[in-house]
Amino acid sequence: MSSELTRRAILKASGLGIGVGALALGGQRTLAAPAAQQGTDSKLYEVLSRGNVIVGTGSTNPPWHFEDDQGNLVGFDIEMGKILAMGLFDDATKVEFVREASDARIPNLQAGQVDIVFQFMTVTPARAQVVEFSIPYYREGVGTLLLSDSPYAGAQDMAAASTPVKVAILQNVYAEDLVHQAIPNAEVLQLDSQANAIQALDSGRADAAAIDESTVRWLAQQSPDKYKAGNYGWSPQTYSAAMRPGDPVWLNFINTTLHEAMTGVNFGLYATPFEQFFGVKLPPPPVGFPVEFGGGRS
């Protein structure tokens, strides 16, 4: 018996032969519509019926969400919303962005004002009790912003310096410990805003500014003659999309869309804005063994 006949026999014995055969014969039988299988109460079908997706986001935090010179929303979170619209409608314009403050992210989801939030939202167990998080789309951390002519490449060689370095950081109760995680011998200069921490670097009062890694890369991308990004980040935290809990169909669709943008067929939709906003050209995912499971082998 040929391997194909064996396969057909197994399928027939298992009760799967008719469906598989119908598909193999040019789709004489079709699968039931997703709405018929799952019901019509999922956010996915509501969004598809409406014809656009409503995304909660911010407008004042580059490189994540901010206004360009024409007042249009741009940024990496904005691109994530467009990737979702492409997955839903094959049209990146079919997204409505609702500008909201950070403390409105969860209330707007709970009230049904938005379908999903892309707003550099850090995943925490406490938040996961009231929202559903997607797979991560960025791993944030602390990085060092350096002047372009700095003798240091990043936190690790600053830690190895023979004399203590000065590091500026936004003032908070964890500031000293946060800097000393990576640069134990640093003199920590706490300032009342991130802008003033960067100004301390600009004026020579500090050897580096310890700020979000994404902001480090954005500033180095925007002003390469002035700044460079340190080569080491620490204190990781996860950014994910957030949804109202209890809708596995919607969650699965979001996860599938993000996954294929980061690792699969729509990789260009993710890699292009990643380079635009963070100055990093991502290598294409390797084919063969899936990268999600320690891939790289073909």
DSSP labels, 156-183: HHHHT-SSPPEEEEE--TTHHHHHHHH-
| In the chain, beta strands by DSSP E | 53-57, 60-61, 65-67, 73-74, 95-99, 116-117, 132-147, 166-170, 187-191, 208-212, 227-229, 234-243
Predicted pLDDT of residue 113: 98
Predicted pLDDT of residue 236: 97
**Pairing status of strand 95-99 against strand 187-191:** unpaired
Predicted pLDDT of residue 298: 43
Predicted pLDDT of residue 293: 81
A 10 A CB-CB count for 117 gives: 28
Predicted pLDDT of residue 116: 98
Domains and CATH numbers, the chain: 10-36 (no CATH), 40-131+244-293 (3.40.190.10), 142-235 (3.40.190.10)
Angle of helix 76-89 versus helix 43-50 axis, rounded to 10? 80
Predicted pLDDT of residue 294: 74
Q: To which H or E segment does residue 62 belong?
A: none
Predicted pLDDT of residue 16: 38
What's the rounded Cα separation, in Å, for the pair 263 and 297? 15
What's the rounded Cα separation, in Å, for the pair 263 and 284? 8
pLDDT averaged per 10 residues, the chain (length 298): 42 38 35 46 97 98 96 97 98 98 97 98 98 98 98 96 96 97 97 97 98 97 97 97 97 98 97 97 93 64
What's the rounded Cα separation, in Å, for the pair 248 and 160? 49
